[in-house]
Amino acid sequence: MSQVNINKLSFQYDTHGEDIFKDVSFCIDTQWKLGLIGRNGRGKTTFLKLLMGEYEYSGKITSTVKFEYFPIKVDDKNQVALEVIRQSIAPFTIWEKQMEEYLKMPDKMDMYGEILDEFIDNDGYTINGIIEKEVRNMGMDPNILTKNFETLSCGEQTKLLLVGLFLRKNYFLLIDEPTNHLDTEGRESVAKYLASKKGFIVVSHDRAFLDDVIDHVLSINKANIEIQKGNFSTWQFNKDRQDEFEILENEKLQNDIYRLRQTAKQKSNWSYKLEATKKGNGPCDRGFIGHKAAKMMKRAKCIEARQNKAIEAKSKLLKNLDVSEKLDLSISNNKLDEVLEVQNLKINYGEEDIFDDLSFNIKQGERVWLRGKNGCGKSSIIKLLIGEDIPHEGYIKKTDNISYISQETSFLKGSIGDFIIYENVNEQHLKSTLFKLGFDSIQFGKNIEDWSEGQKKKLLIARSLCDKANLYIWDEPLNFIDVISRMQIEEIILSENPTILFVEHDTSFGEKIATKTIAL
């Protein structure tokens, strides 16, 4: 058994000023299947980059294994998939060419032997068969290995690169949000594959995925980092119990502090009043009264010390309590029987029909989940409904008052002030929503392009929640969004009952909020 040891790790970005980590210490067993969770902006990806040695830090990180980060950068995607996977494991093709050359050069036999040892140690003679077997374990047809890697979908590329990652020897793998480009079926196959492996950290905000995959949780909290055995549901159960305990303890402390303050104030007032009576009835009485007043003042000071101790104890509680404040949603007051009607819709790209004769409607208060594999036309329907020029046939009747969240965040640039002016959004409502979604005020001093992907997506969600819309159309709104925020969004939707058409691969979210499903 080997471990990754983190000892007094501290790190901050020079440009940001705030501590990301401060004097953090813990150990990780390299056989664990570890889920890394925490609010957006808490430092999950930063921690993985620190393990990779990409940032300077204070403290120590020691390990007997090497680290590899996912997603892997592919230098040349214009190759057959098999070659891309081979290169992601080890430089097999380069070794083969070198060995072929050195065999012709008697003075290079020592170098030939060294490369041959590396080749054999990495299963070079059987690697193609091993890759094919792993591709089957991932639930894919091995024939995909003969295709040009660049022509594959993002989901297919993700799965193949994960296969290559797990075939690397003596590596502890750092897998950063592998589910973002995967449909529901893809997530299930990756979850099944990862569940059969060990020795990795995975960052994901998909609760069902984490429950299927991990056996330990590493949570980056408000005030510390902690490790627990179990899956996400186990962690959430324990976290809820801890939060309930801290809240109850806090209420008790608040009552104790109030009582101590009142008692200290009362004793202090008595001692001052008693001191004021020292002027009468002779020196003996004045001495007695002064002694009694001093004694009462001492008691008041003792009570004050107890009060300060209680305040100090209180300050140690609630340090990790992520209060999930209820969000606000501005729904249009217009009463419409039907906000969207689609009849006999056909969308055509070139000579290929994505689908034919699609009909559905959405009534006010319905929450409609548009489901299907990647490439089946979900985003095409969304783009058509928000007014993009998509070749189509059929009848569409829709409300004009639509609020839209796109998959993309790359267009977000500039300051939050620029965004507020350009979008003509209520500043107080927008910033209040972002605070409730876990933002710190320091975030508003940074340009939006420097925010994390999760923070950018939260900005789009907050913007949509500010709209008084008849219909909310959300295209994969939860990509990169942390678990706590997902539950807040679920709560406001179930509470306020907006009319929504959404595409989302998080099955926990979809099953909770959908009132109707359209399967493509």
Q: How does pLDDT run across 186-205, given as a tens digit for each residue?
A: 999 999 999 999 999 999 99
Burial of 329 per CB tally in 10 Å (0-12, 13-18, 19+): buried
283, 317, 351 - which closes a domain:
317
| 278 in the same domain as 178 | no
Which helix (H) or strand (E) covers residue 396, if one does? strand 392-398
CA end-to-end span of the chain, whole Å? Answer: 47
| 352 in the same domain as 312 | no
Write out the two tokens for 45.
């990806």
Query: Phi and psi for 470 in degrees, rounded to 5?
Result: -85, -30
Q: Identify whether 446 is part of a domain.
A: yes
| 387 in the same domain as 263 | no
215, 238, 261 - which closes a domain:
238
Q: What was the pLDDT predicted at 259?
A: 75
Query: Average pLDDT for residues 372-400, to the nearest whole number?
Result: 88
| 406 in the same domain as 302 | no
The answer on pLDDT for 380 being more than 80 is yes
Query: Phi and psi for 166 in degrees, rounded to 5?
Result: -75, -10
Q: Identify whether 324 is part of a domain.
A: no
Between CA 301 and CA 269 the distance in angstroms is 12
Per the prediction, the chain carries an average pLDDT of 87
Which helix (H) or strand (E) covers residue 394, if one does? strand 392-398
| 391 in the same domain as 381 | yes
| 293 in the same domain as 344 | no
Sorted by sequence, the CB contacts under 8 Å of residue 426 that are 6+ apart come out as 466
Q: Identify whether 329 is part of a domain.
A: no
| 245 in the same domain as 195 | no
* Percentage of the chain lying above the pLDDT 90 cut: 58
List 398's β-bridge partners, or say none: 340
Q: At what angle do helices 109-121 and 92-102 cross, to 10 degrees?
A: 150
Strand boundaries in 263-351, DSSP class E: 338-349
Q: Identify whether 11 is part of a domain.
A: no
| 370 in the same domain as 485 | yes
Between CA 154 and CA 150 the distance in angstroms is 9
Domain with residue 88: its CATH number is 3.40.50.300
| 450 in the same domain as 357 | yes
Residue 148 per-residue DSSP state: B
| 244 in the same domain as 222 | no
Cα–Cα distances in angstroms (integers) from residue 518 to residues 176, 258, 473, 501, in the given order: 30, 56, 14, 10
317, 348, 375 - which closes a domain:
317
Poorest-pLDDT segment among 50-59, 252-261, 375-384, 461-470 = 252-261
Q: Identify whether 7 is part of a domain.
A: no
Q: What amino acid is encoded at 142 in this protein?
A: P
The answer on pLDDT for 256 being more than 90 is no
Which domain covers residue 131, as residue numbers? 49-238
Between CA 480 and CA 470 the distance in angstroms is 26
| 303 in the same domain as 191 | no
The answer on pLDDT for 284 being more than 60 is no
Sorted by sequence, the CB contacts under 8 Å of residue 317 that are 6+ apart come out as 246, 249, 250, 253
pTM of the model: 0.77
Q: Identify whether 41 is part of a domain.
A: no
| 312 in the same domain as 376 | no
Q: Identify whether 407 is part of a domain.
A: yes
Strand boundaries in 40-168, DSSP class E: 58-63, 66-70
Model confidence band, residue 262 (pLDDT cutoffs 50, 70, 90): confident
Cα–Cα distances in angstroms (integers) from residue 499 to residues 161, 246, 321, 368, 372, in the given order: 39, 37, 32, 8, 20
CB atoms within 10 A of CB 195: 13
Query: Average pLDDT for residues 431-447, to the nearest whole number?
Result: 91
Q: Identify whether 333 is part of a domain.
A: no
CB 128 within 8 Å of CB 163: no
Sorted by sequence, the CB contacts under 8 Å of residue 249 that are 6+ apart come out as 317
Parallel/antiparallel/unpaired status of strands 19-29 and 3-12: antiparallel
Look at the chain and report how many structural domains it folds into.
3
- Of the candidates 344, 341, 340, the residue with the CA atom closest to the CA atom of residue 353: 344
Model confidence band, residue 2 (pLDDT cutoffs 50, 70, 90): confident
Tell me the Cα Rg of the chain. Answer: 31
